[in-house]
Structure 1
C-alpha cells in the first residue's frame, strides 16, 4: 500500500517545489522592479532639481544693512545637506588669541565657541545652487568669491559668544580653508536655519534696533532689556547682513552671538561672500 502512494507523494512534492520556485521568481522580479523604480525616482529627483528662487524678503535695518529671508532654502535642499554631512561633524574652530601666545591663531576655543561644524564641498549640486543664490543677493556689488558652505550644530548649553564674522586680513587669511594671498574680508554674512527643534539658540544682535511689537513673534523678539534684536531659529529662513562699510572697514554694529541652547538642537549654515580690497565694492575700476 505504501508503494501505491509513492508516485502521488512524489508528484505533490514536485508541485510544491515548483510553486515555491515560482513564488521566489516573482519576489525576485518584484524586488528588481522596485529597486529599478527607486533608482529611476532618485534620478528623476536629480534631473528635476531646479536652483530657483522663491523666497520673500523683509527689511530689518537700512543702516546697517540687514534683511530677513523667508524660505531661502527648500526642504529637499535641507534634507540633502543634513544627509550629506551626517558623518562629517567636528568641533567648530574660531580665530582667537590663546593666553600663552603673542599672536592669534585658528583652532578650537570652547570658551568662545563650543558647537560642531561640517563643510559642504563646493562641487555639490545644492551647494553650487546656494552659493549662486547668495551671490545674487549682492546684485551689482562685488561677488567674486563665496566661502565653502559651513554647517553648524548646537545642542544643550552650546553657544557662540559675541563676535564679528570679519577676519583680520593681515593675520588670519593663511589659517582659512579657502586661503588666498589676495587681501580680502567677509562682505556679506548669511545664517540659514536648517533646524528649529530647540528652545533658546537665538541669533542676538545687541547693537541693532529691536523690531516693533507687531513683528512676527515666531521669527523675532526683543531682548529682555528691550535692546537689540533676537532672531529665532526657523527652519528654511535666513538672516543676512553686510559686515563692511563701503570703504572696506568693519562695521562693528553687526557684532552678534548665538545664544545658548536650553533644549533640543539647532542646525544652521554659514554663507560668506568676500570683498577683495584691490577692487571696488560696487561697480568696476574702468
Structure 2
C-alpha cells in the first residue's frame, strides 16, 4: 500500500511539475511576443492602433527644460516618401514670418526650400492619420495645428537658432501663441543637419561638424522631435531656442507642424 501511495504521489508531483513547466513556457512565449511586438504589425484589425503606430513609436524624453521628446519611428517609410513626393514639385525658397505683417519674407537666417500642404491635402487619409498621431502624442487638438510644412535642406544650408513662439501681437490674432512644435525627419543618410537646442542639456553636442554646447538630435528617417515653446506656467520658454545645423552632405528633408493655443482658423 505504501509503495502504491508513493507512486500516486510521485505521479501527481510529476504532473504538477510538467504543468508548471508548460505554463512557464507559455508565459515566456507571451512575454517574448510582447517584446517582439515593437516593429511588428500585430494591429492589422485595429484601425486606431495602426493610425497611432502602436508597437512602433518609442518616446524618449531627452530634456525637461526645455521639454523635448524624441519620438523614434513616428512616421513609416511610406509616410515619409509620401510627404516628400507631395512637396517636391512645389518647393520654393523658405521664408520667415514678418512680425509686422504676418507674411513670409526671405531671410539669410533660413536657407532651405519648402512648401505648405493645402487645406484640401489635409483631408487626405494618410495626412489625417499623421495629424491625429501628432495630436495624440502632443495632447494638442488637431484643429489647433497649423498646416504641415515640408522642408528640404541641401548641402551648406541651415536655419539659425530662433524661437517658434511669437514676440509680436499681430501673429497672436490667429490661434494665439505657438505652444509646441513637432519636427518629423523624412530622409536618411544625412551628414550634419542636426536639430540643435543651445540651452538644453549641460554637455556638448555635434552641430554641422562642430562641437558646441547644448543638445542636438540627428535626423533619422521616421523619427520626430516634439518640443514645447511654452512652459508649464503658460509663459513663453526662452530655453526652447533651436536651429537647424548646416548640412554637410546629402539632403535633409523634414516636415514641421506648429501648434497653437486655440483653433488656428
TM-score by length of structure 1 reads 0.66
Correspondence for 1:195 among 177, 181, 187: 187
Which residue of 1 is the match for residue 196 of structure 2?
204
Residues 142 and 275, structure 1, Cα contact 8 Å, conserved in 2: no
Larger Rg belongs to: 1
1:185 partnered with 2:189:
no
Correspondence for 2:113 among 103, 111, 116: 116
Measured in 2, the distance between the counterparts of 1:183 and 1:233 equals 29
Measured in 1, the distance between the counterparts of 2:165 and 2:222 equals 24
Which residue of 1 is the match for residue 76 of structure 2?
74
The aligned length equals 209
Measured in 1, the distance between the counterparts of 2:190 and 2:241 equals 23
Which residue of 2 is the match for residue 106 of structure 1?
103
What displacement does 1:183 show?
Answer: 4.9
Measured in 1, the distance between the counterparts of 2:76 and 2:88 equals 18
SS of residue paired to 1:51: helix
Q: Which segments of 5 or more consecutive residues in structure 1 lack a partner in the other structure?
A: 1-47, 98-102, 174-180, 213-220, 278-286
SS of residue paired to 1:87: helix
* 1:241-273 Cα distance to aligned partner (Å, 9 max, x none): 111023432101010110111221100010222
Correspondence for 1:246 among 218, 221, 232: 232
Measured in 2, the distance between the counterparts of 1:182 and 1:149 equals 16
Which residue of 2 is the match for residue 134 of structure 1?
134
* 1:155-174 Cα distance to aligned partner (Å, 9 max, x none): 0211111101112461225x
Q: Which segments of 5 or more consecutive residues in structure 2 lack a partner in the other structure?
A: 1-46
* 1:178-198 Cα distance to aligned partner (Å, 9 max, x none): xxx455111111111101332
Residues 58 and 67, structure 1, Cα contact 8 Å, conserved in 2: yes
Residues 60 and 211, structure 1, Cα contact 8 Å, conserved in 2: no
Measured in 2, the distance between the counterparts of 1:211 and 1:135 equals 31
What displacement does 1:128 show?
Answer: 1.0
* 1:120-154 Cα distance to aligned partner (Å, 9 max, x none): 23112221111111110134x66641111111100
Residues 202 and 232, structure 1, Cα contact 8 Å, conserved in 2: yes
C-alpha change, 1:131 and 1:183, in structure 2 (3 Å) is: closer
